[in-house]
């Protein structure tokens, strides 16, 4: 158990809909990362937050947005869903923001299926 909790574990929805994925980082971790893992594109970094502020942005679509709340949990919002958004979405956390180490603690992921 990594200590990172993601909900829901599975989600099935239709094209055009909007969903919210939730992540609770390990206790005390200030940094939260979101990743998308699909069969054809591997693991893609979406966005990072540190203590409530956006720290780095990766390949995140404009239809997607995220935030980190004062209690440090984070939400990833996916809107106007397309079939190609079907993927496993991972949240990961680590203690610091600019720490020059790469140890991340991953949740078990939220599997999104868009029909």
Partner 1 sequence: GEDVEQSLFLSVREGDSSVINCTYTDSSSTYLYWYKQEPGAGLQLLTYIFSNMDMKQDQRLTVLLNKKDKHLSLRIADTQTGDSAIYFCAPLGRADSNYQLIWGAGTKLIIKP
Residues that bind partner 1 (CB under 8 A): 2, 4, 42-43, 45, 48, 55-56, 90, 92, 97-104, 106-109
As a whole number of angstroms, the distance between CA 40 and CA 7 comes to 24
Q: How far is the CB of 48 from partner 1 (least distance, A)?
A: 8
Distance of CA 67 to the CA centre of its chain: 10
Q: How far is the CB of 15 from partner 1 (least distance, A)?
A: 26
Q: Which of 115, 107, 113 is nearest to 7 (CA)?
A: 107
**Burial (Cβ within 10 Å: 0-12, 13-18, ≥19) of residue 10:** exposed
Nearer to partner 1, 55 or 79 (CB): 55
Nearer to partner 1, 14 or 40 (CB): 40
Nearer to partner 1, 61 or 79 (CB): 61
């Amino acid at each position: 158990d990594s200590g990172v909790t993601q909900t829901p574990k599975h989600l099935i929805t239709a094209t055009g809909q909007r969903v919210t994925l939730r992540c609770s980082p390990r206790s005390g971790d200030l940094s939260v990362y979101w990743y998308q893992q699909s069969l054809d594109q591997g693991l893609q970094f979406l966005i990072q937050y540190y203590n409530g502020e956006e720290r780095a942005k990766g390949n995140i679509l404009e239809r997607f947005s995220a935030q980190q709340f004062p209690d440090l949990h984070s939400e990833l919002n996916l809107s106007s869903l397309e079939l190609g958004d079907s993927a496993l979405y991972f949240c990961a956390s680590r203690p610091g923001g600019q720490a020059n180490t790469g140890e991340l603690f991953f949740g078990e992921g939220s599997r999104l299926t868009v029909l």
